[in-house]
């Protein structure tokens, strides 16, 4: 991702992620499940509804994931 052909943007929370992705199209989104203001799965679902072509990868540093199956409902 650090080549001249890629541009990386970061956001510190769910609201800023939704704001940034509403004014610009991205090819891929790496979203943390444990963001401070909105759960990452909710942010991902809202972005997926707005742009079904967006490739979304949900990440977590949590030792235990209790949301398995919730995304593909």
pTM score, two decimals? 0.74
Confidence of residue 44 (pLDDT cuts 50, 70, 90): very high
SS3 letters across the chain? CCCCCCCCCCCCCHHHHHHHHHHCCCCEEEEECCCCCCCHHHHHHHHHHHCCCCEEEEECCCCCCCCCCCCCC
Q: Which residue has the higher pLDDT, 58 or 66?
A: 58
Average pLDDT over residues 51-72: 73
- In this prediction, residue 69 carries a pLDDT of 52
Cα torsion angle, 57, 62, 65, 67, sign = negative
CA 6/CA 72 separation, integer angstroms: 29
Q: Work out the mean pLDDT of the chain and round it to a whole number.
A: 83
How does pLDDT run across 2-35, given as a tens digit for each residue?
778 888 889 999 999 899 888 888 889 999 988 8
């Amino acid at each position: 991702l650090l080549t001249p052909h890629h541009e990386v943007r970061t956001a510190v929370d769910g609201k800023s992620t939704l704001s940034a992705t509403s004014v610009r199209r991205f090819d891929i989104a790496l979203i943390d499940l444990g963001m401070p203001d909105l759960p990452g799965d909710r942010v991902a679902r809202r972005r997926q509804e707005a742009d079904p072509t967006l490739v979304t990868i949900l990440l977590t540093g949590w030792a235990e994931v209790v949301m398995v199956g919730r995304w593909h409902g």
